[in-house]
Structure 1
Amino acid sequence: MRLVWTIIFALATGAAFAASPEDDYIAARDKAISAIATMESANEPVETRDAAGTKALADLEKRLSAILGPLAVAGFPATGTINIESLSDSDIGFGMLDGLRYAKSDDRPSLVATTRGLLERWLQSRAAEMDASFRLPAGIDAALKLDAFYTQAINSDAAFTGTLDFPLKKPEGADIAFARLGGWAQDIGPNPDQQVIVTLVKGNSVMIASAPAAPPVPKIAACDALWASADAAAQKFQEAYQASDLKDQKAYDAGNAAWEKGDADYRACMGEHLPGEPVFPALLAQAQELADHMAGK
């Protein structure tokens, strides 16, 4: 009898410590990253490395599809492609959030889906970043309030800057519902291409949807004036820098500081004034509809 119970205990213990599909995915991802890094160190041909990366991403996409299952959100396709764009740390698109991206075309709304477990692991890795400029909090609630989260998680070639947060009503059954208006750009200053970004956490499911603001965000004269003034001041500092034989670093830094302050002041102004604009109810409704659809309504 003791032998029987020993066998049962061993089987139960083995089952308890068996790797989960998420564990298997992370192990496969890290193995692929390591293999490609080894190929780069050995100076193997670019074509060989690219082929290995493409094959590995396809395998990871298949694993994620099995973990997530088909998507059932109105306005988005049922199947997606891997959100990570590269497995080489020397490429743009490396280290993005582990998940699948769903979109009918490049210019249509997109949705990145993952699990709470994968998101928490990803945030833990960002919290441990040696480079402070890439560091994120480990908690989901805190991370969602930072523009850097969206920059690192769901886009690869531009930085996200927020304009305002929407007062969402959390859909029934959702644990977290957060929405922000903002845009991606490679430079600071007014960005007319605003996006409505909505994140919904429900049980083990995490979805981040991004859609062009509809209607478009209007210009607000008072905010444009703030930016124009800051831009003019920055330009004068930059002209002084260029005119200096020694390239006065103080003038250069002052110009950049004027641009950065002008950008922050402009976005704060937009955040203050936009809720009073005629378009705001429609923008809020767009964010709420995205949240409700992701929650299964």
Structure 2
Amino acid sequence: MRLIWTLLFMLAGGAALAASPEDDYIAARDKAISDIAAQESANAAVETLDAQNTKAMADLQTRLSALLGPLAVKDFPAAGTINLQSLSDSDIGFGMLDGLRYTTSDNGPSLVATTRGLAERWLKSRADETDENLRLPAGIDAALKLDAFYTQAIGADAAFVSTLDFPLKKPEGADMAFARLGGWTQDVGPIYDQQVIVTLVKGDRVLIAEAPAAPPVPKIAACDALWTAADAAAQKFQEAYQASELKDEKAYDAANAAWEKGDGDYRTCMGEHLPGDPAFPALLAHAQELADHMAGK
């Protein structure tokens, strides 16, 4: 009898120590990153690196597909492709959120799905970042309030800049729902092609949907005027910098400061005026519909 209990205890202990599917995925991802880094250090041919990256990404996609199962959100396909864009830290798109991306077209709505465990691990890795520009809170609720979260999680070659947050109603059954309006940019100034981004946490799933704002975000004259004035002032400082033989750095800094202030003033203005615009109820309804679909309605 003692032998039987000992065997049962050993089997239970072994099961408890078995790696979870998330652990297996993380281990496979980290090994692939390490292997590619070693190949790069050895000056491997580009073709070799590309082939290794493609093979590893396919393996990770298979693991994530098994982990997540088919997606069941209206207007999105059941199968997705890996959200990561590269396993080389020298490439754009390295280090994005571990998950699958679902979309029907390049310019249409997209949705990134992951588990809460993978999202929390990803955030923890960024909470420990030494570069403060890349550092994020470890908690999901705090991270969702930062543009940097969307830039790092689902963006690749541009930064996400918010216009405002929607007063979203949390769908029944959801643990958390958050919606933001904004756009992707590589520069300061107005972003006229904006996106609605909705993040929903439900049980073990974290879903981040992105869709072109419908209707399109209207231009607001008072806000455009703020940017136009700031841009004109910055241009004068820039011209003074270019004209000076010694390249006066003060003029250069003043130009950048004027652009950055104008950008901030423009976005603040849009956030204040847009809720009173006739287009806003439809934009809010668009965000709410996305959230409801993500919750299973």
Q: TM-score range by the shorter chain?
A: over 0.9
The letter for the 2-side match of 1:91 is D
3-state SS of 1:76 partner: coil
Deviation at 1:125, TM superposition (A): 0.4
Structure 2 matches for 1:273-288, cutoff 5 A?
273-288=273-288
Structure 1 partner of 2:76: 76
Q: Quick one: distance in 2 between partners of 1:171 and 1:192?
A: 29
Structure 1 partner of 2:141: 141
3-state SS of 1:124 partner: helix
Q: Are 1:290 and 2:269 an aligned pair?
A: no
Q: Quick one: distance in 2 between partners of 1:130 and 1:53?
A: 27
Structure 1 residue runs of 5 or longer lacking an equivalent are none
Deviation at 1:7, TM superposition (A): 1.0
After superposition, the CA RMSD in angstroms is 0.6
The letter for the 1-side match of 2:10 is A
Q: Quick one: distance in 2 between partners of 1:256 and 1:10?
A: 65
Structure 2 matches for 1:252-263, cutoff 5 A?
252-263=252-263
Q: Are 1:162 and 2:157 an aligned pair?
A: no
**CA deviation digits over 1:214-239, x for unaligned, max 9?**
00011100000110111111111111
Instruction: Give the % identical residues.
Output: 81
Structure 2 matches for 1:1-297, cutoff 5 A?
1-297=1-297
Deviation at 1:188, TM superposition (A): 1.0
Q: Quick one: distance in 2 between partners of 1:76 and 1:183?
A: 21
Structure 2 residue runs of 5 or longer lacking an equivalent are none
Q: Quick one: distance in 2 between partners of 1:290 and 1:227?
A: 31
Q: Quick one: distance in 1 between partners of 2:159 and 2:105?
A: 21
Q: Quick one: distance in 2 between partners of 1:182 and 1:64?
A: 29
The letter for the 2-side match of 1:248 is D
Deviation at 1:129, TM superposition (A): 1.0
Q: Quick one: distance in 2 between partners of 1:44 and 1:212?
A: 40
**CA deviation digits over 1:75-121, x for unaligned, max 9?**
11110000000000000010000000000010110000000000000
Q: Quick one: distance in 2 between partners of 1:121 and 1:217?
A: 35
4+ residue runs over 4 A deviation: none
The letter for the 2-side match of 1:152 is Q
TM-score normalised by structure 1 residue count: 0.99
Q: Quick one: distance in 2 between partners of 1:4 and 1:247?
A: 84
Deviation at 1:135, TM superposition (A): 0.7
Q: Quick one: distance in 1 between partners of 2:90 and 2:199?
A: 29
TM-score normalised by structure 2 residue count: 0.99
**CA deviation digits over 1:123-182, x for unaligned, max 9?**
000111111111111110110000000000001010000000000000011111000000
Q: Quick one: distance in 2 between partners of 1:78 and 1:257?
A: 47
3-state SS of 2:118 partner: helix
**CA deviation digits over 1:247-284, x for unaligned, max 9?**
11111111111111110110010000000011100000
**CA deviation digits over 1:181-225, x for unaligned, max 9?**
000011110011100000000010010000000000111000001
Q: Quick one: distance in 1 between partners of 2:98 and 2:211?
A: 20
3-state SS of 1:164 partner: strand
Q: Quick one: distance in 1 between partners of 2:155 and 2:193?
A: 15
Give the aligned length: 297
